[in-house]
A and B are shown apart, each in its own frame.
Chain A
């Protein structure tokens, strides 16, 4: 079945460092891909999404490109801030099957000043 694998954390960076969180997926059809962010004590929030190959999702300085050839959707940010400290989840769902969004295990990011 469909699945998502993301890099294990925790990830600790200094402020203004470059961030990459790897995400790869397995899908039988044509999935849409998502990144969600969870701040402490809160629910998940949609960060960005891409619905077809070569699409780039972006929001709040974060970017991810849907790479069908490598089945990847890596999250990047050029300069992280302390306020970016959170848990990040990669997820996918397939067209016509939105009742089965699959999430990765989550990657905890801590940014130190």
Chain B
């Protein structure tokens, strides 16, 4: 089934540890995104990539980094996790970066930093 695969599904992480959240899509979409979802705040954009080899910062990029070595993969790395990064993380993609294309979302990674 075509779509986005995120891993792990959930994780409990000690503060200060490094963690990479994985995201893979098989739709050959050009644009990919990472959002965090927090209660009462909706979804906030962390980083995005319009095409392989390029990335950009979203609304809340601090403490996170991304890479886009190829079309399919868009990993999100927390270099040194802090409790405020406890959240549900969603990876998304869209066929083009133009406004009238909606996003396809993964099922999310629930991260708890203790």
Residues of A within 8 A of B (CB): 31-32, 34, 36, 41-46, 49, 51, 89, 93-101, 103-106
Closest to A94 in B: B99
- Give 10 closest A-B pairs by Cβ, nearest first: A43-B105, A46-B102, A51-B100, A103-B42, A99-B48, A98-B97, A103-B43, A105-B42, A32-B99, A44-B105
Which of B42, B94, B96, B107 interacts with A89 by CB under 8 Å? Answer: B42
Question: In the complex, which residues of chain B have a beta carbon less than 8 angstroms from the beta carbon of A100?
Answer: 45, 58
What would be 29 A-B contacts, judged by CB atoms less than 8 Å apart? A34-B102, A36-B105, A41-B107, A42-B107, A42-B108, A43-B4, A43-B105, A43-B106, A43-B107, A44-B103, A45-B105, A46-B102, A46-B103, A46-B104, A49-B100, A49-B102, A51-B100, A94-B99, A95-B98, A95-B99, A95-B100, A96-B97, A96-B98, A98-B94, A99-B48, A99-B56, A100-B45, A104-B42, A105-B40
Distance in angstroms from B7 CB to nearest chain A CB is 13
Known contacts being A43-B108, A99-B50, is A93 close to B42, with CB within 8 Å? no
Question: In the complex, which residues of chain A have a beta carbon less than 8 angstroms from the beta carbon of B4?
Answer: 43
Asked whether A51 lies within 8 Å of B99 as measured between CB atoms, the reply is yes
B33 located at the interface, meaning its Cβ lies under 8 Å from any Cβ of chain A in the complex: yes
B31 located at the interface, meaning its Cβ lies under 8 Å from any Cβ of chain A in the complex: yes
Distance in angstroms from B30 CB to nearest chain A CB is 10
Asked whether A101 lies within 8 Å of B103 as measured between CB atoms, the reply is yes
Question: In the complex, which residues of chain A have a beta carbon less than 8 angstroms from the beta carbon of B1?
Answer: none
Most buried by B among A34, A44, A97: A44
Asked whether A98 lies within 8 Å of B58 as measured between CB atoms, the reply is no
Question: A96–B48 Cα gap in the complex (Å)?
Answer: 14
Asked whether B98 lies within 8 Å of A99 as measured between CB atoms, the reply is no
Distance in angstroms from A89 CB to nearest chain B CB is 6
Asked whether A98 lies within 8 Å of B45 as measured between CB atoms, the reply is no
Asked whether B100 lies within 8 Å of A32 as measured between CB atoms, the reply is yes
Question: In the complex, which residues of chain B have a beta carbon less than 8 angstroms from the beta carbon of A105?
Answer: 40-42
Question: In the complex, which residues of chain A have a beta carbon less than 8 angstroms from the beta carbon of B107?
Answer: 41-43
Question: In the complex, which residues of chain B have a beta carbon less than 8 angstroms from the beta carbon of A99?
Answer: 31, 33, 45, 48, 50, 56, 58, 97
